[in-house]
Amino acid sequence: MPLNVLVTGTFVGFSVRLVTQNSYYNKHTVIKFDDVFYNEGGHYSPSTGIFTVPVSGVYVFMFNVQRVYDSSDTSRTAHVLLYVNGYLKAEAVVAGFGPNLTGGNAAVVEVWAGDRVYVSTASHNERYYILPYRTSFSGALLHVL
């Protein structure tokens, strides 16, 4: 028996990475991922680093961060948080000794049209050392509410 599938609906998604090199990021700083791979509908803003939810639904958000390594300063960390409207949903921490250390996380969340989703540095340290090109943020609508 053939399977006939009719696909209809709303497609929302984005995938971005950081390419701008900063010496460091201060605490409570929204990361502005400035290299846009995919941005269906244009709801992620590289100028603000914020994804504005266009359609209420259940979304998945994923993010990775890599720390800038410096063998003379082993206390450097990269600690980032995923927020929805200022409420913490997930976090990733990179600490320890050695190059190429990366952290990441994901969250499936229910959000509403107009909600703001973003990745920000944490508040534990004054400075966070985040490596471009290997630091990314993505999100996609799983289903409409």
Domain locations along the chain: 13-144
Contact 118, 30 (CB under 8 A): yes
pLDDT band at 6; cut points 50, 70, 90? very low
- Give pLDDT, residue 39: 97
Single out the residue of 95, 104, 98, 99 nearest to residue 76, CA to CA. Answer: 95
Cα Rg, the chain, nearest whole Å: 17
In this prediction the pTM is 0.89
Percent of the chain past pLDDT 90, that is, above it, reads 65
b (16+ CB within 10 A) / e for 1-27: eeeeeeeeeeebbbbbbbeeeeeebee
> Looking at domain 13-144, which of 1.10.8.100, 3.30.413.10, 3.40.50.150, 2.60.120.40 is its CATH number?
2.60.120.40
Contact 56, 144 (CB under 8 A): yes
For residues 34-52, average pLDDT:
97
pLDDT band at 23; cut points 50, 70, 90? confident
- Give pLDDT, residue 94: 87
